Structures are given as structure tokens and as C-alpha cells.
Amino acid sequence: MNRLAGASSPYLLQHADNPVDWYPWGEEALERARREGKPILLSIGYSACHWCHVMAHESFEDPDTAAVMNERFVSIKVDREERPDLDRIYQNAHMLLSQRPGGWPLTVFLTPDQVPFFAGTYFPSTPRHGLPSFVDLMTRVSDFLAEHPDEIQRQNESLQQALGRIYRPAGGAIPALSVVDKGRAELAKTFDESFGGFGDAPKFPHPASLEWLAWHAARHGDAEAERMLARTLGAMAAGGIFDQVGGGFCRYSVDARWMIPHFEKMLYDNGPLLGLYA
């Protein structure tokens, strides 16, 4: 058993018998990283997360993969349901580093002083889906940090400035209407005319975007915003992403037609969607 054996989190306890030398988030792990000059491998997930379990079985339970993790990194496991504050910080870091939305498992590589310099989500045990193997990725990331410290330092300074703007936004100015128009245009550009929703598979409900369409349609009499909203809500309610027997919406649809659900139901989706449908 590793250091997670004494955790109260069900998710951390699932990893207590991994061959990985896991630490819970805390000063012991962070101090060791600073003392030994080792980068931190931070893995964030939760107990009902499908791909978290897949990565655990493929990589974290594998002795050879664990040996690389133990040799090159200080590895930290975090339950996002226990520490949503940490999850928010590193999801934002992932978005800034990769220029795309994050998810779980969230895999973040940090310098010994806790600044994230590379991030991703699920990585397979062997190369597939256009992704490198997890072992190959760890080796390349570790080597790059050792060989290009100045480049990483410059990136870290830029990242910290960007994160600072997120958490300490400049106040006092009301955004111009052009900002609202730009947001509306971006949604229209990615709208799926055939099946509703935004973008291609996997397709997420994005209740915040739908709430904004509802506000914009009501506030500005925007018929196009109302059409996108109604088309999306109707298609979702008629599709497999909605549990036609038990009620509630699953987290996302694997396909673009809202037919094949990813079998999780999240309160942060269903709460806003309940209000929208009402």
C-alpha cells in the first residue's frame, strides 16, 4: 500500500495499492519535489470517471509504468470532488497550455516549484488515437525539462501572468456590445444545423452557452439565438444523452447525433438544464 492508504477519499483509496509511489496533495510531496529538484506529475480525477479507471488499469497498475513515474517524478493524486479548487486552477492551466478544453483524468506536469509546464488528459499505455504512450510522454517531458530549463522558465512566466489575469480580472469597465456580438457569432459558427449543439463528436450539452442564448434571445429579441437554443434542447431531449427511462442527462454524447451517451450524470449539468427546459 502507498501513502493513499490513509485517505478518506474513495477515489484516492482506489489507488492505494498501485505500484506508483503516490502522494496526496500536501507539503510532504511539494517539499520533496523542491528538495530533490524533481518535477511533479499531478493526476486529478474522481471515482465515477470512466477514463480515469481506464488510465489507472492501463498505466497506474502497471509496474513498468510505475517504475518510470517513481524514478523521474514526485507523483500526486487529487480527487476533484474533494479539491475542486485545485481542479479549477489546473483545468485553467491545461486550457492555456494546450489551447483546448480539459477533462478527466487531468494529467499535469509541474516544475519542482509547482508551475505547470505541460498538461493533457487521458494518455494510453500504447500509442493510439493520435496520442503517444504514457511512458514515452513522461520520458520526453522529463528530458525536455532537464535540457531546456530557460525555455520552460519563460513559458512559466507567461503562464503565471495569464493565470493572474484569470483570477484577478481588471474591473471597472463594462464590456462593449461588440464582445457580446462576438460571442454570439462564435456560437453560430460552431452550431450543428443537422443535430443541434456545438461542434462535432464528442458533443457536450454546454448549459452555460445555452443559458446565454436564452438570455440573449429574451434580452435582444434574437430569433436566431432562440432557434439554436430550441433546436439543441429538442434534439437532446429526444436523444440517448437523455435517460429516457430514469430521467436526467448524461455528461456528453459520444456521437454527434446525441444518441450514444457517456454514462455519467453530473449535477452541474442537470441543474442548469432543468431550469432551461422549465
Shared-domain flag, residues 155 and 183: no
DSSP for 24-55, please give it. ESSHHHHHHHHHHTPPEEEEEE-TT-HHHHHH
CA-to-CA distance for 22 and 59, rounded, in angstroms?
A: 13
CA-to-CA distance for 68 and 166, rounded, in angstroms?
A: 34
End of a domain among 167, 185, 217? 167
Shared-domain flag, residues 139 and 184: no
Is residue 226 a part of any domain in this protein?
yes
Shared-domain flag, residues 145 and 230: no
C-alpha cell at 146: 532537464
Inter-residue contact 123 to 137 (CB < 8 Å): yes
Q: Is the pLDDT of residue 60 over 80?
A: yes
Q: What is the mean pLDDT of residues 56-65?
A: 98
Q: How do residues 185-203 score in pLDDT, each as one tens digit?
A: 899 999 999 999 999 988 9
C-alpha cell at 65: 509504468
Shared-domain flag, residues 73 and 189: no
Of residues 98 and 44, the one with the higher pLDDT is 44
Q: What is the pLDDT of residue 170?
A: 65
Is residue 172 a part of any domain in this protein?
no
Looking at 222-266, list the stretches that DSSP marks H as alpha helix, in order from N- to C-terminal side. 223-238
pTM: 0.74
**How many domains would you assign to the chain?**
2
Average pLDDT, the chain: 92
Shared-domain flag, residues 143 and 197: no
Inter-residue contact 110 to 116 (CB < 8 Å): yes
Shared-domain flag, residues 205 and 77: no
- Report the SS3 class of residue 75: strand
End of a domain among 124, 145, 167? 167
Shared-domain flag, residues 183 and 247: yes
- Report the SS3 class of residue 274: helix
Of residues 228 and 159, the one with the higher pLDDT is 228
Highest mean pLDDT among 68-77, 180-189, 258-267: 68-77
Shared-domain flag, residues 117 and 13: yes
Tell me which residue range forms the domain holding 120.
3-167
CA-nearest of 120, 119, 115, 107 to 149 is 115
Q: What is the mean pLDDT of residues 204-217?
A: 93
Q: How do residues 71-129 score in pLDDT, each as one tens digit?
A: 999 999 999 999 999 999 999 999 999 888 888 999 999 999 889 999 999 999 999 88
Q: What is the pLDDT of residue 171?
A: 67
Q: Is the pLDDT of residue 166 over 90?
A: no
Percentage of residues in the chain with pLDDT exceeding 70?
98
Shared-domain flag, residues 14 and 98: yes
Q: Is the pLDDT of residue 9 over 80?
A: yes
Backbone angles phi, psi at 105, to 5 degrees: -70, 140
Cα separation of the two ends of the chain: 49
CA-to-CA distance for 27 and 223, rounded, in angstroms?
A: 54
Shared-domain flag, residues 77 and 195: no
Q: What is the DSSP letter of 174?
A: P
Q: What is the DSSP letter of 58?
A: I
Is residue 70 a part of any domain in this protein?
yes
Q: How do residues 211-256 score in pLDDT, each as one tens digit?
A: 999 998 998 899 999 999 999 999 999 999 999 999 999 999 999 9
Inter-residue contact 258 to 240 (CB < 8 Å): yes
